Amino acid sequence: MRDLLPDFRYGLRLLAKAPGFALAAVAVLALGLGASTTTFSLLNAILIRPLPGIAEPERLVMLGRTQTRRGLRHDFLSELPRLPRSEGGLHRRLRSALRTRASSRPK
C-alpha cells in the first residue's frame, strides 16, 4: 500500500498539469459509468426480476399464429385441446373466445 501512494501523487500531478485532459477523462468515465448503470437497470427490470403479480411464471403460455414463407400457417387453435386445464374455467373461456373470433372473420 505504501508503494501506491507515490504513484497516486504522481498521477494527480500529471492531471493537474493538463486540466483539459483531466476534465475529458472524468467526463468519459462518468458517461461510461452512467451508461452501464442504465443498461443494467433496464436488463434487471426486464429480464432478471420476476413478473409482478404472477405466482408461477414458468406456467405462462404464449399463444400466437405463425406463417412461413411457403404460406403455411400454424394455428394455435389446434394446440388448445392439449393445453393443461386451469382453475376457474380459463381454458373454456379462451377456447370459446377464440372460436367466436375465428368465425367472425371474413373469408
Q: What is the number of structural domains in the chain?
A: 2
Whether residue 36 is found in the same domain as residue 70: no
Provide the pLDDT for residue 98: 64
Whether residue 62 is found in the same domain as residue 31: no
Whether residue 66 is found in the same domain as residue 43: no
pTM for this entry: 0.42
Whether residue 68 is found in the same domain as residue 87: yes
Whether residue 61 is found in the same domain as residue 96: yes
The answer to whether the Cα torsion of 49, 53, 59, 60 is positive or negative is negative
Residues paired with residue 73 on neighbouring β-strands, in sequence order: 67
Whether residue 61 is found in the same domain as residue 82: yes
Whether residue 27 is found in the same domain as residue 61: no
Which phi and psi (to 5°) does residue 55 adopt? -70, -40
- Coil/strand/helix, residue 75: strand
CB 75 within 8 A of CB 98: no
Q: Which long-range CB contacts under 8 A does 35-41 form with residues at least 24 apart?
A: none
Whether residue 42 is found in the same domain as residue 18: yes
Q: What is the mean pLDDT of residues 49-78?
A: 68
Kindly report, residue by residue over 82-103, the tens digit of the pLDDT: 656 655 566 666 666 666 655 5
The C-alpha cell that represents 97 in the structure block: 373466445
Whether residue 41 is found in the same domain as residue 64: no
Whether residue 39 is found in the same domain as residue 15: yes
Kindly report, residue by residue over 9-56, the tens digit of the pLDDT: 998 899 899 999 999 999 999 999 999 999 999 998 888 777 777 777
Name the residue range of residue 44's domain. 4-48
Task: Answer whether residue 8 shows pLDDT above 80.
Answer: yes
CA distance 49 to 43: 9
